[in-house]
Amino acid sequence: MLAALAPWAAAASAEPTVAFVGGMVMPVASAPIPVGTVVVTGGRIVAVGPAATTAVPEGAERIDVTGKVLIPGLVDTHSHIGGGSGGDSSGPVQPDVRILDSINPRDSGFRKARAGGLTTLNIMPGSGLLVSGQTVYVKLRRVDTMDALLQRDAAGNALVGLKMANGTNSQRDPPFPGTRGKSAAIVRQKFTAAREYQRKLADADVTKRPARDLELESLVECLEGRRIVHHHTHRADDILTVLRLREEFGFRVVLHHVSEAWKVPGDLARAGVPCSVIVIDSPGGKIEAMDMSLATGAVLEAAGVPCAFHTDDPVTDSRLFLRSAALAVRAGMSREKALEALTIAGARMLDLDARVGSLEPGKDADLVILSGDPFSVRTKVLQTWVEGRKVFDRDDPEDRLFAVGGYGAGRDQEAEMCCAGPTK
Amino acid sequence: MSDRPLRSTIRSLAFGLAVALVALAAGSATAAGETLAIRGRIIHTMAGDPIPDGVVVVTDGRIVAVGPAATVAVPADARVLEAAVVTPGLIDAHCVVGLSGYLNQDQDQDQLDASEPVQPELRAFDAYNSRERLVEWVRGFGVTTLHTGHAPGTLVSGQTMVVKTAATAGVLKPTAMVAVTLGDAGRAQGEKKAPGTRAKSVAMLRTELAKGVEYRRKQADPDPEKRPAPDLRLEALARIVAGEWPLLVTADRATDIEAALRVAEEFGIRIVLDSAAESHLLVDRIRAAGVPVILHPTMKRAGSGETENASFETAATLRKAGIPVALQSGYESYVPKTRVVLFEAGVASANGLTIPEALATITIDAARILGVADRIGSLEPGKDADLALFDGDPFEYTTHCTGVVIDGAVVADQPR
């Protein structure tokens, strides 16, 4: 009830009914429907099925998508758009820092992400710290405040993760670690302190409970499985180090980038730890990525390891996110798993699979209208919808500017705001 | 334990291709008299319309015949390769592959010496590593020729070269152009170092070119005693002002592109515009100047700053205006360490170019801009036998490059 009355939920309930008719529907949760109908009311999907058997409610706005392809809104498990920042260079462990306090919702990156069909993002601080701060899960609603972008739980709390890293990015002069062993030790020390804090918090005698500690509070949420650790890691041994820490502290973790995951698929499968993979055009660029393989998706699929892709935008462009999965198909991944890796697999890694990641009744009406095969270079994102509202339309010249590029597309604020003041 | 078979499967999945490539890297050129025939359901010769069900016959590393399979005789002893689509070997019209190594460590980065702002005497072939892993990587995607060398980053960073991606194939042009960077990327790093501004960059470039003019004038003195002592830097500048070596001017902002054209006109020198993110704003000006553009990678990160106004459609915009345009993989400072020009042309083909037009940007038009179209860039009798084979539309993400031939030698034959 509280959620329904909250300002961020109020708009959705007034939404009219919209029916997408005539197109091929790829629900992800079930087999593709050659000619399907998707019905949306109040920001939620209410029906998905073959056109012949799925009724369009009277009075519904019909959107003819004949010859086009409907897929769920894309889920990007690892993005850096919005110009946000995490922890600073004062120390290697800063779990209290929230990236949501630093993001510019007018950044053109959001418009480009909508142009790429993205609807749910995990926006993260960087990998320069062992713990660089709290990530934030957002919905790409067409809004201009950070609070309105937030993905919230039923109680209205912002949903966030914790960004961690190992390997060379987070190694430098003290107080940062200089070695991999030191990196792990610092993390273990901090989680050990969090355990102690957690224990004391449970003290029956309220007076004996510790003062609030934002750093440890954040880690306790991870220890209790209420917050997912998103862990940057490349080399096979670094991947195994994360699995070891997970074993010791029991946090839930998604491994990110995983250049060498293809070397240890058995370990990953046994641990049941999901991987969010970046697909880039060549190996190298840093030593840890020297053995990057385009076949990582195929290898993880063969091993039964849950696999999603991510943009790491700006490392890869959000507008080309479908391409990441297509290149994985080129290297042997099945089309079915590759589409899952852009949608439901990522949703699971964010604990949002009950709400997004597939076209099913009851889920948020986040969907993308494509001009054709999701994995063709010539396919265009025509429209992107979030919670039953159109947030990108390639036919709108202003939206098209951000889809294609051109003068004004790079400004870090919305085009209509161009004259409000100097850009940075 | 239990995953050992899985691991070995995986290793072969991930590395089988690489191993096969290494085994083939040395290649075996068609021996004297030996003949190779490459048959394709579609052959894009880039010299006329695509040929359905065609064949290319190769002897001694050269193309000897191209045409419909029904009419071109294939010698009985020819080794036959088949593919859905056959194209000329692809040309990356500008990159730093072979100088900027994949590990991105100090010891494998030879694309830029920032100790001085103007160093046109630095030769690319003194730094090019033909066995660098990224050479093999791009070759696997059909790239047979690179225009590579000194990177953007200082005002005049050095020379570029044109080289094939087979270690044994040699250099097509030891010096192709001299790299110049205008705009923000060409600024000297550090306090009180020149050039510190755009205007200063152009002033310094003009000053250097004026030195080249003067050196050249004095060198022509009938009295040998009055000629200047040899100077490698001035020698390079003299070749530039003589029109022997074009300047490859990296300029993204329209301001910098205009400045480059202005300087070219002042000194009557040849230039090629490089990267040119805002060239779509200056189409008439560039066409009037008759200057070709080696455009930034289609997927170049727009980000903020110099390239923020880049467009996926610029290749199409320039080509439709009649401006010669080639595509490049560019310079990458992080991951990925190189782009693949096949992929860049693919995205251009999805943003306004037809398949043959997009192919031209990485074959014949690139060859013309680089001045090597007499040897490569199209499939015609007498040209080098450099070919790329595909199992479908070369530009589709899910198509594979199934074979690469350089000088008649099969240098890759595993799907990539």
Q: How far apart are CA B324 and CA A356, in angstroms?
A: 47
Rounded to 5 degrees, φ, ψ at A324 are -55, -45
Please give the model's pTM, rounded to 2 decimal places. Answer: 0.93
Listing DSSP states for B328-371 in one string gives --B--SSSSSS--HHHHHHHHHTTT--HHHHHHTTTHHHHHHHT
Which pLDDT belongs to residue B33? 58
pLDDT tens string B378-395: 999 999 999 999 999 999
- The domain B90-370 is placed in CATH, from the list 3.40.1180.10, 3.20.20.140, 1.20.1250.20, 1.10.287.40, at 3.20.20.140
Q: How far apart are CA A286 and CA B100, in angstroms?
A: 12
Query: For chain A, what are the domain ranges?
Result: 2-72+369-404, 74-354
Which pLDDT belongs to residue A81? 96
Model confidence at A418: pLDDT above 80: no
Size of interface A-B (CB pairs under 8 A): 150
Which pLDDT belongs to residue A422? 38
B337/A283 CB distance under 8 A: yes
Interface predicted TM-score (ipTM): 0.93
Which pLDDT belongs to residue A15? 64
- The domain A74-354 is placed in CATH, from the list 3.20.20.140, 3.40.50.1580, 3.40.50.880, 3.30.1340.30, at 3.20.20.140
Mean pLDDT of A235-247: 98
Per-residue confidence band for B304, with pLDDT thresholds at 50, 70 and 90: low
Which pLDDT belongs to residue A83? 93
What residues of A are in contact with residue B338 (Cβ under 8 Å)?
281-282
The percentage of chain B sitting over the pLDDT mark of 90, rounded to a whole number, equals: 89
Which pLDDT belongs to residue A171? 96
B302/A295 CB distance under 8 A: no
pLDDT tens string A386-416: 999 999 999 999 999 999 999 999 865 443 3
Model confidence at B275: pLDDT above 80: yes
Mean pLDDT of B359-371: 98
Residues of chain B with CATH 2.30.40.10: 4-86+380-412
Whether A321 and A342 have beta carbons less than 8 Å apart is answered as: yes
Mean pLDDT of B251-276: 98
Domain A2-72+369-404, CATH homologous superfamily name and number = Urease, subunit C, domain 1 (2.30.40.10)
Tell whether A405 is within 8 A of chain B (Cβ): yes
Who among B2, B102, B395 is closest to A284 (CB)?
B102
What residues of B are in contact with residue A317 (Cβ under 8 Å)?
299, 301-302
Who among A281, A326, A407 is closest to B336 (CB)?
A281
Q: How far apart are CA B338 and CA B320, in angstroms?
A: 28
Q: Which of A95, A350, A168, A273 is nearest to B335 (CA)?
A: A168
- The minimum CA-CA distance between B69 and chain A, rounded to whole Å, is 29
pLDDT tens string A153-162: 999 999 999 9
What residues of A are in contact with residue B334 (Cβ under 8 Å)?
285-286, 315
Mean pLDDT of B330-350: 96
Q: Where are the beta strands (DSSP E) in B201-312?
A: 247-251, 271-275, 293-295
Who among B15, B309, B396 is closest to A376 (CB)?
B396
pLDDT tens string A181-221: 999 999 999 999 999 999 999 999 999 999 999 999 999 99
pLDDT-wise least confident of A298-302, A366-370, B165-169, B307-311: B165-169
Mean pLDDT of B398-413: 97
Model confidence at B15: pLDDT above 70: no
pLDDT tens string A332-345: 999 999 999 999 99
Which pLDDT belongs to residue B168? 84
Rounded to 5 degrees, φ, ψ at A300 are -65, -40
| Residue-averaged pLDDT of chain A | 94
- The minimum CA-CA distance between A285 and chain B, rounded to whole Å, is 4
Q: CA torsion A32→A33→A39→A45, rounded to 10°?
A: -20
Who among B104, B304, B398 is closest to A285 (CB)?
B104
The domain defined by B4-86+380-412 folds into Urease, subunit C; domain 1 (2.30.40)
pLDDT tens string B16-33: 434 343 334 444 455 455
